[in-house]
Amino acid sequence: MDHTHDKYYIPHGSHWPVVGSCALFMMLGGFAVYLNGAAIGGTVSLIGLALLVVMLAGWFGTVIAESMSDCYNSQVDKSFRMGMMWFIFSEVMFFAAFFGALFYARQLVIPWLGGEGTKFMTNLMLWPGFEALWPSNGPAHAGGEFETMAAAGLPAINTAILLSSSVTITIAHHALKNGNRLLLNLGVLVTVILGFSFIFLQATEYMHAYSELNLKLSTGIYGSTFFVLTGFHGLHVTIGAIFLTVIWFRVLRGHFTPQKHFAFEAAAWYWHFVDVVWLCLYFFVYWL
């Protein structure tokens, strides 16, 4: 493969994408069957998920091997960078949909249901007595009485955790660029530990919400936006933490050099992205 040094590397055929398609077919098809009430779908879905993991390992494994045997010139590296950046942009837009739902519900729907402006008669006829207040589970009090998650407790600790993990990953990045391998190793490790602690605390928080606050996914629009926003964020933190774990093992094997370390930076960017999303969440969902 060394003759490709100056040329843009074009892989010749790969079976991983098709494996990925089969995996998603089983995973989502199975899940759909499960949602329609047939338990077998759940099993198929899990097999699909396992196959997806195999596919990801295989695909990324190939890419890592190619990278280690110097197939990629700086132009390929740049393609990867741009690809990752625009992928993160699309993720931002995914979250934007849910934040949009939160703002719309809070700023418009609830006041309208409460009879604001021209909606006076709507309120009187359909939802008499409903007062526009946030947090709200709607005029039918879907899910019953509930309490909101206080911003000061676990969420504040989680904010501190994510913020400091952003610092540690940046320290690791600088260490990588300066050739300080010990600090790099430690920086990534601490970030991974902080990442998984966040997920653990988030799970604790959910249990607290369900068992003590009566705050559930079905708690009207407040519960819907709260759990779907924090849930998708938590999912992304999990993905980011797994990504960083892989990076940590690659650090141990000495895969990265001060000049060439795209995968490290991709993971770091992703981590900053989940961090920024969290800050928005903390501000708009917990605090305000």
Partner 1 sequence: MGPEYEATADQYQADDHDHHGAPSGIKRWLFSTNHKDIGTMYLVFSLLMFFVGGTMIMIVRAELFQPGLQFVDPAFFNQMTTMHGLVMVFGAIMPAFVGLANWMIPMMVGAPDMALPRMNNWSFWLLPVGFTFLVATLFMPGGAPAAGWTMYPPLVLQTGDAFPFLVFAVHILGASSIMGAINIIVTIMNMRAPKMTLLKMPLFVWTWFITAFLLLAAMPVFAGAVTMLLFDQYFGTHFFNAAGGGDPVMFQHIFWFFGHPEVYIMILPAFGIVSEIIPTFARKPLFGYNSMVYATASIAVLSFIVWAHHMFTVGMPLAAELFFMFSTMLIAVPTGVKVFNWIATMWRGSMTFETPMLFSLAFVFLFTIGGFSGLMLAITPVDFQYHDTYFVVAHFHYVLVPGSLFGIMAGVYYWLPKWTGHVVDEKLAKTHFWLSAIFVNITFFPQHFLGLAGMPRRIPDYSTQFADFNMMSSLGAFGFGLSQLLFVYIVYRTVKGGEKASSEVWDNPKGLEWTVPSPAPHHTFETAPELR
HSE at residue 66, side-chain half, CA atoms within 13 A, is 21
Q: In what helix (H) or strand (E) does residue 100 lie, and over which residues does it extend?
A: helix 74-104
Choice from 1, 5, 17, 207 touching partner 1 (CB under 8 A): 17
Minimum distance between the CB of residue 248 and partner 1, rounded to whole angstroms?
25
Alpha carbons 240 and 70: distance in angstroms, whole number: 26
Nearer to partner 1, 116 or 190 (CB): 116
Choice from 35, 40, 57, 160 touching partner 1 (CB under 8 A): 35
Minimum distance between the CB of residue 32 and partner 1, rounded to whole angstroms?
4
Say whether residue 5 binds partner 1 (CB under 8 A).
Answer: no
Choice from 65, 82, 150, 252 touching partner 1 (CB under 8 A): 82
Nearer to partner 1, 17 or 153 (CB): 17
Choice from 52, 151, 193, 228 touching partner 1 (CB under 8 A): 228
Say whether residue 221 binds partner 1 (CB under 8 A).
Answer: yes
DSSP assignments along 190-212, one per residue: HHHHHHHHHHHHHHHHHHHIIII
Say whether residue 128 binds partner 1 (CB under 8 A).
Answer: no
- Buried/exposed code over 220-256 (b: 16+ C-beta within 10 A; e: otherwise): bbbbbbbbebbebbbebbbebbbbbbbbbebbeeebb
Minimum distance between the CB of residue 20 and partner 1, rounded to whole angstroms?
6
Question: Are the beta carbons of 166 and 278 closer than 8 angstroms?
Answer: no
Alpha carbons 229 and 272: distance in angstroms, whole number: 17
Say whether residue 234 binds partner 1 (CB under 8 A).
Answer: no
Alpha carbon distances (Å) from 268 to 182, 231, 241, 282 = 18, 21, 10, 21
DSSP 8-state symbol, 8:
P
- Site residue total, partner 1 (CB under 8 A): 70
Say whether residue 144 binds partner 1 (CB under 8 A).
Answer: no
DSSP 8-state symbol, 5:
T
Say whether residue 110 binds partner 1 (CB under 8 A).
Answer: yes
Q: What does the binding site for partner 1 look like in residue numbers (CB under 8 A)? A: 7-8, 10-18, 20-21, 24-25, 28-29, 31-32, 35-36, 59, 75, 78-80, 82-83, 86-87, 89-91, 93-98, 100-101, 104-105, 108-110, 112-113, 117-118, 126-127, 136-140, 142-143, 216-218, 220-225, 227-228
